[in-house]
Amino acid sequence: MSKSSNTGTPPPPSPLPRESKRHYLFISLIVAAWVLMVVGGFYAGKLYIDRCFETVQQTNAIHVQELENRMDSLAAEVDEIELALQDADQTLASSSSTQENLNQKIENLDQQLQQLAKSLNILKEAP
């Protein structure tokens, strides 16, 4: 029988040459290295962002504590001034200039206290 009498079956596949296998292995290694670098880059970026976020949270916590301390201090000063005003009112009822000065100080401290409260609310709302 001759080769032309083959009944339509395809010839068996020829094995890949050795160089083709090396080329496939080389490309596979390059792709794997690229994937590892991309995944590593995303992981490093996530770590960096997480650390930055943690640093901002710690800084905000410190600032909130400082503002609360200042508010407590101002509130104590306002209480002292109010007591002084009451004492001054009793002993120096005729001295209106002293009362005006004390009232002015109370108003100034009250304004500072309100500004600190606003700042504290802003810091508490920050992430």
Measured between alpha carbons, how far is 57 from 49 in angstroms, rounded to an integer?
12
pTM: 0.48
74-123 residue pLDDT tens? 889 888 888 888 887 777 665 677 778 888 888 988 898 888 888 888 88
pLDDT of residue 51: 96
pLDDT of residue 11: 64
45-76 residue pLDDT tens? 999 999 999 999 999 999 999 989 998 998 89
For residues 114 and 74, the answer to whether their CB atoms sit within 8 Å is no
Residue pointed to by tokens 């094995």: 15
